[in-house]
């Protein structure tokens, strides 16, 4: 068995970005990390607004990040024919979600 880095498990934890930011700036209180793919950032904003509206928090720091750049994620998107392949020479034109001739996402 190959030796694993002590950072192997933490690298898979979905709340690591939020945790690092909290530690760096000394934030206290609940830490949430919604896992809803592309909607995670807007869900975090909605969650923060609900906490403040319910008077469960005075202030909330929220945002989103994504890091699906790995063999499994990209392989799955490729197998589903979800990735744009017609614009490799012009990546600035590849993302056209509402175009009739779209062929996937970037």
Beta-bridge partners for 83? 105
Phi-psi region of 29 (alpha: psi -120 to 50; beta: other; left: phi over 0): left
Residue 12 has pLDDT above 80, yes or no: no
pLDDT at site 4:
81
Distance from C-alpha of 72 to C-alpha of 18, rounded to nearest angstrom: 24
Instruction: Judge contact between 54 and 77, C-beta under 8 A.
Output: no
Opening angle at CA 36, ends 79 and 106, nearest 5: 40
Which of 6-15, 30-39, 49-58, 77-86 is least confident?
A: 6-15
Q: 64-103 pLDDT, tens per residue?
A: 887 777 788 888 888 988 888 888 888 888 888 888 888 8
Instruction: Judge contact between 53 and 60, C-beta under 8 A.
Output: no
Beta-bridge partners for 105? 83
Residue 61 has pLDDT above 90, yes or no: yes
């Amino acid at each position: 068995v190959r030796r694993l880095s002590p950072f192997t498990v933490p690298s898979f934890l979905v709340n690591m970005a939020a945790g690092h930011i909290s530690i760096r700036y000394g934030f206290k209180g609940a830490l949430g990390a919604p896992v809803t793919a592309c909607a995670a950032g807007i869900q975090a904003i909605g969650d923060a607004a609900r906490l403040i509206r319910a008077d469960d928090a005075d202030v909330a720091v929220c945002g989103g990040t994504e890091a699906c750049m790995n063999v499994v994620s990209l392989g799955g998107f490729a197998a589903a024919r979800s990735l744009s392949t017609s614009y490799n020479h012009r990546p600035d034109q590849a993302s056209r979600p509402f175009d009739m001739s779209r062929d996937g996402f970037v």
